[in-house]
Amino acid sequence: MALVSFARSSIARVAVLHGLVLAASMVAVLGGVYLGTSRIIANEGDQLLTLEVQSLAEDFREKDLDAFVTEVVDRAEDPWVRGGVYELRGPTGDFLAGNVVVLPELAAGRDGWAEFDVAVTRGDANASRRIRGRITALRGGFQLLVGHDVQDRHTFREVMLRSLAWAVLVTLLFGALGGLWLGRRISRTAQAITASAGRIAEGNLGERLPVSGSGDEIDALVTRFNDLLGRVESLTTTMRAVLDSTAHDLRGHLNRIRGAAQDARNGAASPEQVRAGDAVLTEIDRLSGTLQGLLRIALAESGTAPLESVDLSAVTADLAEFYQPVAEPDQLHAQITAGLMVRGHRQLLAQALSNLLDNALKYGNGSPVNLTLAAVDGRARLCVSDGGPGIAPEYRELATVRFRRLPGSSGLPGSGLGLSLVAAVARLHHARLELGDGDPGLRVTLEIPLDAAPAAT
């Protein structure tokens, strides 16, 4: 499994790519040298052989047959010192002179060139030598074969090809090792930056990305990014301070207004004044609830909420117990797996679950409400379902937008912040939120990564 993971990593891709680039460069350079050298050697040998054939053809025209046969015999007399082979045949195909007998069986190309092997005795050993020759038709139906030993040329090619293969293998190996070193160096830097970025995303705005001190482009980028983080931290701190002070002032004003409205309601002289006072108190409570919801959404979306290990099972059980008296008899059913720990913000998680239960009891039209919590594939799966009218599929995404009320809910209580807060809490905890069909009703599923293995029940 570790090998498969490594093979899919950027380090492996960098190592392979680096090795292949170097190997391709080596093939291009050495291949060019090999082809150029081989071509030069082959052309030079063929030119010398062509000149010799032309010289012999001229001698054949100028001399009588006996003198020409003598010349061929003289040239063929010591072939392996000069490296040449000769064969002269008459018009009827009879052998006249030379040191090889190959013409009747030899198949030549259109240009008269042919290659063949000749066995040579050297001391007590026999050796096979490669010969490249040219067959020339002479006047009167005579045939002349002149060839030179090209075994050394073939040996040179084989040595060059083996050297090229070994050079490619060695270059590929060292290129892969160099790419592995480079990839690991880049990967360590990327992992350090990723780890720091993760801590920043969890709300630690004082965290900074690591600087290696090499002074390269990556360090310059990281330094500029750290400057940006410093600016973001300063602005976030200022905005939180303004938000906290504003919220504190608004809560104070609302409490004083509520107190005055309560006093006016208690001193009302007529039923109409009592009803008006109750309406004012209801609106004040609704405004206060909206303010609290907005503050919690802002806290969740800011990413600055401190996260800790939270016993989600205990939080869920406490809320289920809290809502039991609010629900109708035998309406709320809870199945909770104990010991499920997640990394999160206890208050925001409790508020999100409270919103889900409140919506299910409020909009479920008295139907049973099912609350379940279980561990599934390394995640804590929290589900709240009811048997009410539910939410049509085309409106489910709209339901998580703040202040957006769904069609048909204008006369129902609420500010449109319940599910938007749940969505903000889900994003803070890297959780998956799904609004599904409860068949009938609405089924809301929230899956949060587990912080530790669930305890035994």
Give the contacts of 45 (CB within 8 A, at least 6 positions apart): 132, 148, 150, 153
Q: Which of 382, 368, 353 is nearest to 441 (CA)?
A: 368
The predicted pLDDT at position 34 comes to 74
Q: Which CATH architecture group holds 308-449?
A: 2-Layer Sandwich (3.30)
Q: How many CB atoms lie within 10 A of CB 176?
A: 21
Is the CB of residue 95 less than 8 Å from the CB of residue 89? yes
pLDDT computed for residue 115 by the predictor: 81
DSSP tally for the chain: helices H, then strands E: 10, 12
Distance CA 42, CA 48 (A): 10
Which pLDDT tens digit goes with each residue over 170-207?
Answer: 877 877 777 777 767 777 777 777 777 777 766 676 77
- CA 51/CA 88 separation, integer angstroms: 17
For strand 143-149 and strand 84-89, is the pairing parallel, antiparallel, or unpaired? antiparallel
Domain ranges in the chain?
A: 12-158, 217-302, 308-449
Determine which of 15-29, 63-77, 115-129, 224-238 has the lowest per-residue pLDDT on average: 115-129
What is the Cα–Cα distance from 38 to 168, expressed in whole angstroms? 19
What percentage of the chain carries pLDDT values higher than 70? 80
Q: What is the distance between the alpha carbons of residues 130 and 151, in angstroms, rounded to a whole number?
A: 5
Q: What is the pLDDT of residues 30-52, one digit of tens each?
A: 778 777 777 787 777 778 888 88
Cα(421)–Cα(412) distance, rounded to whole angstroms? 18
- pLDDT band for position 453 (cuts 50, 70, 90): very low
Q: What is the CATH number of domain 12-158?
A: 3.30.450
pTM: predicted TM-score of the whole model, two decimal places: 0.48
Q: How many Å apart are CA 339 and CA 314, to the nearest integer?
A: 8
198 touches 343 (CB < 8 A): no
pLDDT tops 80 at residue 166: yes
Average confidence (pLDDT) over 19-36? 76
Share of the chain above pLDDT 90, in %: 5
Question: What pLDDT, on the 0 to 100 scale, is given for residue 57?
Answer: 85
- The answer to whether residue 83 scores a pLDDT higher than 70 is no
pLDDT of 442 > 80? The answer is yes
* Residue bearing tokens 């409020």: 362
Query: Rounded to an integer, what is the distance from CA 224 to the centroid of its chain?
Result: 26
Mean pLDDT on 444-453: 82
pLDDT band with cut points at 50, 70 and 90 for residue 456: very low
Residue with tokens 């080596």: 26
Q: How far apart are CA 27 and CA 403, in angstroms?
A: 67
Peptide bond into 91 cis (omega under 30): no
Dihedral Cα 197, 199, 200, 201, nearest 10 deg: 90
3-state secondary structure of 112: coil
pLDDT single digits (tens) 294-331:
666 666 666 666 778 889 999 999 988 888 888 888 88
DSSP string, 199-235: HHHTT-TT------SS-SHHHHHHHHHHHHHHHHHHH
What does the pLDDT read at residue 383? 93
- pLDDT averaged over every residue in the chain: 77
Lowest average pLDDT, out of 237-246, 347-356, 360-369, goes to 237-246
